[in-house]
């Protein structure tokens, strides 16, 4: 199979490219390098620098490269930025994806979409199943939910085979391939914890220690980025085998939550370093716990997280961080 990976120079997209190649598929990467890195693209893949929102260009690429499936990772992900600049997020996450979908629908290709647990908003029950009410609390979640609704409509009207994968907390790295998180600015917990361990960040801030959780800090469901990539491969095979009638949304997580303090303790074990912490007040909009119910992905896609023990995630992220920072 020949797959197009949009955003394949980014964090999760670059890991997806590696998994596809290792599975024996051919890969074309389309990325504008606004947040991705050219050196993160595996040399075995064909790289095209460009904007996935340019429908005519994508039409030509799908035709000329004889693409058989599209996996879409090109999006903006910073929640706080989506609140301060919603116009940008609606344009890049929703309008741009709809432009891409014009080409995908015309080409009658299966489509795997990188979605998010942010579509659920503040949960009314935990663990969160796929039928949980959708009520995003920020524009980032709104933009992703809008695309999911479009996918359902396009599937019903045009026969588009699609899967939306709702990530919980992606983390970890594939250090042997030189792949890991390189966000600027960094907003994800684990790389921030590791920066504090390295000394490139003065301290780690904990936003609230009085949540209704066992140790008072927020609980999240952390999933290894390579487990995420494996899930996309499983989703793609599911669509190729079963067609548009198999379309739907799936949670990607482990079903087990870890608190901020647990992540910090894991980092201390792995790095064997102290991690300076500053405790502060709660951050508006943060739910106490976000944990996935993952039965549907296991039953329908035959997928389950295999590499997502918290120490394993931290160890891989640490190996990449040390390599990338040039420190030991």
pLDDT at 123 over 70: yes
Average pLDDT of the chain, as a whole number: 96
When pLDDT is averaged across residues 174-203 and rounded to a whole number, the result is 95
pLDDT of residue 4: 98
pLDDT of residue 306: 96
Domains, the chain, ordered by start: 2-170+223-252 (3.40.50.720), 175-220+255-325 (3.90.25.10)
pLDDT of residue 284: 79
Active-site residue among 11, 140, 167, 222? Answer: 140
Of all residues in the chain, what percent carry a pLDDT higher than 70?
A: 99
Q: pLDDT (tens digit, 9 = 90+) per residue, 55-102?
A: 999 999 999 999 999 999 999 999 999 999 999 999 999 999 999 999
* pTM assigned to the model: 0.96
Q: What is the 3-state secondary structure (H, E, C) of 136-155?
A: CCCHHHHHHHHHHHHHHHHH
pLDDT of residue 326: 55
Give the confidence band of 328 by pLDDT, cuts at 50, 70, 90: very low
**174 phi and psi angles, rounded to 5 deg:** -120, 80
Query: Which residues 6+ apart lie within 8 Å of 159 measured at CB?
Result: 108, 244
pLDDT of residue 327: 42
Give the confidence band of 217 by pLDDT, cuts at 50, 70, 90: very high
Q: pLDDT (tens digit, 9 = 90+) per residue, 70-83?
A: 999 999 999 999 99
Active site residue 140: yes
Question: What separation in angstroms does the CA of 220 have from each of 1, 24, 117, 243, 284?
Answer: 35, 34, 11, 33, 16
pLDDT of residue 106: 96
When pLDDT is averaged across residues 287-296 and rounded to a whole number, the result is 96
pLDDT of residue 227: 98
pLDDT at 163 over 90: yes
pLDDT at 15 over 80: yes
Q: If you count them, how many residues does the chain have?
A: 328
């Amino acid at each position: 199979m020949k797959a197009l990976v949009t955003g394949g120079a980014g964090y999760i997209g670059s890991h997806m490219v590696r998994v596809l190649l290792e599975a024996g598929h051919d890969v074309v990467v389309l990325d504008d390098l606004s947040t991705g890195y050219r050196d993160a693209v595996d040399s075995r893949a064909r790289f095209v620098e460009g904007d996935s929102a340019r429908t005519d260009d994508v039409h030509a690429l799908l035709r000329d490269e004889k693409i058989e499936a599209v996996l879409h990772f090109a999006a903006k992900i910073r929640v706080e930025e989506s609140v301060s600049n919603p116009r940008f997020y609606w344009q890049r996450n929703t309008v741009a994806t709809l432009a891409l979908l014009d080409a995908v629908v015309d080409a009658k290709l299966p489509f795997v979409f990188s979605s998010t647990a942010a579509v659920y908003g503040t949960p009314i029950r935990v663990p969160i199943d796929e039928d949980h009410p959708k009520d995003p609390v920020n524009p980032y979640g709104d933009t992703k939910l809008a695309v999911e609704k479009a996918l359902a409509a396009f599937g019903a009207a045009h026969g588009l085979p699609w899967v939306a994968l709702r990530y919980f907390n992606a983390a970890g790295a594939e250090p042997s391939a030189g792949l890991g998180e390189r966000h600027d600015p960094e907003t994800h917990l684990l790389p921030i914890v590791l920066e504090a361990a390295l000394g490139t960040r003065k301290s780690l801030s904990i936003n609230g220690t009085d949540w209704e959780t066992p140790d008072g800090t927020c609980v999240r469901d952390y999933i290894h980025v390579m487990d995420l990539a494996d899930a996309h491969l499983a989703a793609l095979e599911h669509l190729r085998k079963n067609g548009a009638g198999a379309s739907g949304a799936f949670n990607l997580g482990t079903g087990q939550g870890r608190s901020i303090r647990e992540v910090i303790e894991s980092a201390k074990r792995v790095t064997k370093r102290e991690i300076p912490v500053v405790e502060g007040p709660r951050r508006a909009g943060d739910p106490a716990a976000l944990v996935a119910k993952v039965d549907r992905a296991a039953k329908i896609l035959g997928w389950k997280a295999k590499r997502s023990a918290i120490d394993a995630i931290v160890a891989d992220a640490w190996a990449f961080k040390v390599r990338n920072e040039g420190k030991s």
